[in-house]
A and B are shown apart, each in its own frame.
Chain A
Amino acid sequence: MTGRIEHHPILGSLENRKQILFHFDGKTYTACESETIAAALLANGVRTLRVHEEKGTPRGIYCNIGHCFECRVTVNGVKGIRACLTLVEEGMNVESGVQLPVPFKEGGHQK
């Protein structure tokens, strides 16, 4: 299961594009060349790209045009990279966003 549209009624068949390997959270995935990180992960069945820093709820592709920053991931150690705009490269190391501690939240929260 690739999840990619291999035969499109208008665009035709997907030509045999170069396969490249990249890493996401320690696992190795296959992508097609000139695919974005978000597209490659979606094709591999990965929909959760990070979790909300405070609440820990899952986040993935939302606008997919680089507007909303929902799909931001860490690429080769650089934080805040949009997976929907960044093309995947051979050996790229992608890490998802994790939940962060909120030590000062208690007491400041109005309920």
Chain B
Amino acid sequence: MESDPIIVCRCEEVTLQELHETAKSYQCSSRELKLRTRAGMGYCGGRTCRNLIDMIVNEVTGKSPGHSIPLGYQPPVRPVTFGLLGGHK
């Protein structure tokens, strides 16, 4: 695993092993796992790995996703430039 890691969050390059270990040692929620590892905080806005993070937490701690502190959905729904928001182009 060390030589060929499985990357879960490609934007922040967080491995499955890292997420597993963090979830195991802190028995934390998806949100806490995200804040501890930065998985899901990258350029794509967590749109690619959000479900995987929820699944890892569910697998390790038994907590199902959709509990009181879920991973948030915030605007903008996809990365946009400030220029675009300001009406350019």
Q: Is chain B found bound to chain A in the same assembly?
A: yes
Which A residues contact B (CB, under 8 angstroms)? 52, 54-55, 57, 59, 62-63, 67-70, 72, 80
Number of B positions contacting A (CB below 8 A): 9
**Given A52-B13, A55-B13, A68 and B79 touching (CB < 8 A)?**
no
| A63 B48 Cβ-Cβ under 8 A | yes
What number of residue pairs across chains A and B have CB atoms under 8 A from each other? Answer: 26
| A57 B13 Cβ-Cβ under 8 A | yes
Q: What sequence of 0s and 1s flags, for each residue 1-41 of chain B, a beta carbon within 8 Å of any chain A beta carbon?
A: 00000000011010000000000000000000000000000
- Residues of A near B11 (CB, < 8 A) are 69-70
**B44 on interface, CB distance cutoff 8 Å:** yes
| A68 B48 Cβ-Cβ under 8 A | yes
Of all A-B residue pairs in the complex, the 4 with the closest CB atoms, nearest first, are: A69-B44, A68-B48, A55-B13, A69-B43
Which residue in A52, A54, A68, A72 is a CB contact (below 8 Å) of B47? A68
**Given A69-B79, A80-B79, A80-B81, A54 and B13 touching (CB < 8 A)?**
yes
Which B residues contact A (CB, under 8 angstroms)? 10-11, 13, 43-44, 47-48, 79, 81
Of all chain A residues, the one with the shortest Cβ separation from B47 is: A67
Provide 23 A-B residue pairs closer than 8 Å at the C-beta atoms, listed in order of the A residue: A52-B13, A55-B13, A57-B13, A59-B10, A62-B10, A62-B48, A63-B48, A67-B44, A67-B48, A68-B10, A68-B47, A68-B48, A69-B11, A69-B43, A69-B44, A69-B79, A70-B10, A70-B11, A70-B44, A72-B43, A80-B43, A80-B79, A80-B81
Q: How many angstroms from the CA of A62 to the CA of B47 in the assembled complex?
A: 13
| B44 A68 Cβ-Cβ under 8 A | yes
Q: How many angstroms from the CA of A59 to the CA of B13 in the assembled complex?
A: 11
